[in-house]
Amino acid sequence: MKTILSICLFIALPFLGIGNNPKADGHLIRIPLGKEIKCPLDKLFSEYEFIALDSNDPALLEGLDIINRIIVKDDYIYVGDLFKLTLFDRSGKYVTTLNKQGQGPDSYLSLFNFTVHTNGNISILDRMASAVMTYNKSGEMISKKRFPELSLRDLTMLNDSTLILKTMGDRDSRNNIYIVNWNNGEVINSYYPVAHSKLIHMFKDFFPTYQRRVFLNGYRSNHVYELTREKLLPAYTIDVDGRIPPKDFWQSSDNSRQLEQAYSEKGYIGHIPFFMEGEQKILLRFEGASDALKSYALIDKATGKSELIKEFLFDPSFGWEPEYIFPQENGWVVIPIPAHLLFDKKGATSFANKFPDIDAESNYILCLARLK
């Protein structure tokens, strides 16, 4: 199984069976290990659609390991990789490519991540330059905000006037989260102190939202947090089969190999690389060191009961475990399906027949879905 990422939350009603200590660690979600199921999409999602992306030369996308983020907003689909940002309309038709990588005054050195504003402008995080570059959809630069003292990793908007920056936790960054006044680029707050570790963070990052709240999951953490202008709020603690690593485990040694070995030998599950909440359900992914300790889990918010998911059934005869799920707003997700799977995977013929114009070399098919 491959790694996946994300986060999100809901705090309106207490959960039956999801419970205790919400003040210190957020609501507790307990997930026992057990049998994995093949889960039909109708059980996961209240609505969904499939979008086959154009496959002409400028529209073809990189591999999933290179794609940083997919955002569906208003009438457009935005796909960012390490070099460029590709735009499609909601039917999957190619619109344009934003590629400003270079040394010029309106260029970026690296497209590490991006976010889309409510007015349609696009802000790109240039990690190499420690800057946030903002463009319109035509590729014209609107602004450039520099943060030379920070080692940047990710960004999102808390609201139209407030930017959230996440750091790598290296260099001289004291905190993981920095709150910025979008209008003047000034840092107005920071929190979530960096806990230095010898292990390198290779997961993708996301800031899913639910009911206008912005959330963050933790690599090397079983917690899910809400981000506000003032502080970090614990929202959930994910306990899979009682396998949470002890407090400060990741800082217990300067020897990264020793940490990895202990994590594996003790069977800890300490990564929650994907978390999304819907009105009735929570969908998350947990990861330990071995494949036996990695799975998606679907949690019923009313009862607290969970089911482990081996494969998503996109068709009665076509099941697949997504490599990455890209969270959107308010329970929506995007699942990119590589076209070659429809020809390589046994039983996928009936699903492939829904897309008569594609072949094994075609672009991705996106499943845009809303969690129940």
Residue 201 has pLDDT above 60, yes or no: no
Residue pLDDT, tens place only, 190-199: 999 887 655 5
pLDDT at 196: 62
Q: Six-digit token pair at 258?
A: 């020793």
HSE value, Cβ hemisphere, 13 Å, CA-based, for 280: 7
Q: Tell me the chain's radius of gyration from C-alpha atoms.
A: 20
pLDDT digits (tens, 9 = 90+) for 333-347: 999 999 999 999 988
- The percent of residues above 90 in pLDDT, for the chain, comes to 78
Three-state SS for the chain is: CCCCCCCCCCCCCCCCCCECCHHHHCEEEEECCCCEEEEEHHHHEEEEEEEECCCCHHHCCCCCCCCCEEEEECCEEEEECCCCEEEEECCCCEEEEECCECCCCCCECCCCEEEECCCCCEEEEECCCCEEEEECCCCCEEEEEECCCCCEEEEEEEECCEEEEEECCCCCCCEEEEEEECCCCCEEEEEEECCCCCCCCCCCCCCCEECCEEEEECCCCCEEEEECCCCEEEEEEEEECCCCCCCCHHHCCCCHHHHHHHHHHCCCEEEEEEEEECCCEEEEEEEECCHHHEEEEEEECCCCCEEEEEEEEEECCEEECCCCCEECECCEEEEEECCCHHHHCCCCHHHHCCCCCCCCCCCCEEEEEEEC
Res 8 pLDDT > 70: no
Q: Is the pLDDT of residue 148 over 60?
A: yes
Global pTM reads 0.90
For the chain, list the domains and their CATH numbers. 22-371 (2.120.10.30)
Dihedral sign, Cα of residue 3, residue 63, residue 7, residue 171: positive
217-226 mean pLDDT? 87
Average pLDDT of the chain is: 89
Q: What is the pLDDT of residue 335?
A: 98
Query: Is the model's pLDDT at 203 over the cut of 80?
Result: no
| Phi, psi (rounded to 5 degrees) for 145 | -115, 125
Question: Which pLDDT tens digit goes with each residue over 299-351?
Answer: 999 999 999 999 999 999 999 999 999 999 999 999 999 999 999 998 899 99
Residues 104-137: b if buried by 16+ CB within 10 A, e if exposed: eeeebbebbbbbbeeeeebbbbbbebbbbbbbeb
User: What is the average per-residue pLDDT within 71-91?
Assistant: 96
Distances (CA, A) of 288 to 21, 112, 262, 294, 353: 24, 26, 11, 6, 37
Amino acid letter for position 29: I
Where residue 202 falls among pLDDT bands split at 50, 70, 90?
low
Provide the residue count of the chain. 372
Is residue 18's pLDDT more than 90? no
Residue 71 forms beta bridges with which residues? 78
User: With 60 as the cut, is the pLDDT of residue 86 above it?
Assistant: yes
pLDDT band at 33 (very low <50, low <70, confident <90, very high): very high
Residue 20 pLDDT more than 60? no
